[in-house]
Amino acid sequence: MRHFLTLKDFSKEEILEIISLAQKIKQEAKAKEFKPYLNGKVLGMIFEKSSTRTRVSFEVGIHQLGGTGLFLSTDDIQLGRGEPLKDTARVLSRMVDLVMIRTFGQERLEEFARYSTIPIISGLSDRYHPMQLLADYMTIYERGYDKNLVVAYVGDGNNISHSWLMLASKLGFELRISTPKGYEPDSEVLNDAFEFAKISGAKISILDNPKDAIKGATVVTTDTWVSMGQESEKAKRLEEFKGFEVDKEMMSYAQKGAMFLHCLPAYRGFEVSDEVFEEHSEEIFDEAENRLHAQKAVMVWLDRQR
């Protein structure tokens, strides 16, 4: 049995296998041929952090696969009143078939998985957001940008940047990350990425100047500068991230015709200009839709490993 907690746990072949399955399931959905891959199965969805895309895509996804989704906010279950994670994990293991958790610390996901006898899926943690990166790469692949791929990530060294590090180091493409000083990716995640890159041939750079990162890139991406739980730091962050907005001038350093991606929600005028966002809106909303198809593929893939 396998869990989906971070791309660190997956080989290049497994990641591409899931992407291929996602494309197959997407094609079936577009043709209105919804196959009951998970007929009668139940997905428990624990939300310790609220969400738009994660909730809708998982709930719609399990329904389209022939199963049922249960929304479990911490206000509604005993976990929110102090029940130990390991007890909730053991209870749900006897009642549902898969569990998705959107939470704070990565260690909470890992503890839940240790005591679970069913597959556990990360809907996001403060350390990683692996499901988002499957959707990102699926979008890149569909639009033919996977050949000679050079990704520039500009912004906060957060869970999205960490997941880009895992994806690049596993698949072997070039990744340049540019953050303000003091906001670099976690050193442990970086060390893991550099080790994986020795095997895959990935080229990974951490840069101060965003223009250096974007120069010649085929894909440019960013994320909010103020993630959930960081609202008290907003004023400080907005000041320290000046010069890191992906605007028209910044995009001009990328390769002509470069793709722009954003995991959403996007805050125009901060990490991305409205002009750049709207110019690349089709790519961005393809990316958002692909959360649905990538997540369906992960659920089906995990069920097959049991």
Q: Annotated catalytic sites, by residue? A: 102, 129, 132, 223, 263, 291
Helix H or strand E segment including 249: helix 248-251
DSSP symbol at 42: E
The CA-CA-CA angle for residues 228, 288, 233, to 5°, reads 15
Two structure tokens written together for 131: 């499901």
Residues in the chain: 306
What does the buried/exposed string (b/e) look like for 116-148 if buried means 16 or more CB atoms within 10 Å of the residue's CB?
bebbbbbbbbbbbbbbbbbbbbbbbbbeebbee
Distance between CA atoms of residues 11 and 51, nearest Å: 28
6, 166 contact by CB (below 8 A): yes
Q: Which residues contact 209 (CB under 8 A, 6 or more apart)?
A: 178
Two structure tokens written together for 205: 């750079």
Distance between CA atoms of residues 27 and 93, nearest Å: 32
Distance between CA atoms of residues 227 and 234, nearest Å: 9
176, 213 contact by CB (below 8 A): yes
Two structure tokens written together for 40: 């009668």
Dihedral of CA 175/265/15/145: which sign?
A: negative
